Amino acid sequence: MSTAVRTTERKSRTATSTNTESVSTASGNSKREVYYAPESAVEIIEPFIKNYKTIWDPAAGASEKYPLKDCLEKLGHRVVTTDIIMGNDYDFFNHKTKKRYELIVTTPPYSLRKEFILRATELKKPFAFLVPVNVLESKTIRDLLKQYNMTIVFPGKTANFTSPTDSKSVKALPYSIWVIGGISDLPSIVYL
């Protein structure tokens, strides 16, 4: 089992990538590429999120597969799923979900990793995002890490992402880290 990571290029809220799966969004047509991280990538943050019962995954994907949801539910959480490509009522950037949640956990689209962190701080809800380590190159994100006392969790090994169309393929994506915000009593950096 695995968690979803979408790699997209953002142009006027339209995502494009090399995958041939077309998806219609509120802003027009888009293509997207979906990758799944191993379940072990999610399990490592369970000690940090175990006290949160209801989780919102705002980038769950629009397919019938919800690996992140499945993994979190196996760990005892209730998970609400939406996706940014589902239209304005579910767009993480424009609206909150109408369903109640205590924590946001997702693997945001690669090209929107910084925007997801910024939006989560605006929502003032605890969150945990699996993002490429290069998100730390952004001065804006580094400033937010200090301002909001966020935690960076460095997994002990690189997550091997797979494509839902070919479960045997491993996608060489950048080393991923968890950025956790709004959860008190965590150190700034955790090495696993």
Give ∠ CA 48-81-179 in degrees, rounded to 5: 35
| pLDDT top residue among 18 and 1 | 1
Q: What is the pLDDT of residue 157?
A: 85
Q: Give me the mean pLDDT over the 15-20 stretch.
A: 24
Local structure of residue 72 (DSSP, 8 states)? H
Distance CA 55, CA 14 (A): 26
**Band (87; pLDDT cuts 50, 70, 90):** low
The ranges assigned to domains in the chain are 38-160+172-191
Share the mean pLDDT of the chain.
77
CA distance 177 to 190: 10
Interval 18-33: pLDDT, tens: 222 223 333 333 444 5
pTM higher than the cut 0.85: no
Mean pLDDT value of segment 52-61: 90
Instruction: Note the CATH number of domain 38-160+172-191.
Output: 3.40.50.150
DSSP state of 73: H
Name the more confident of 85 and 93: 93
Report, as an integer, the average pLDDT of 38-64. 88
Q: Are 80 and 101 in contact (CB under 8 A)?
A: yes
Residue-wise pLDDT for 32-44, tens only, equals 456 776 788 899 9
In the block, residue with structure tokens 């491993």: 170
Q: For position 93, what pLDDT does the model report?
A: 85
Helix (H) or strand (E) holding 170, with range, is strand 166-171
Residue 84 DSSP label: G
- Would you say the C-alpha torsion 169, 21, 28, 63 has a positive or negative sign? negative
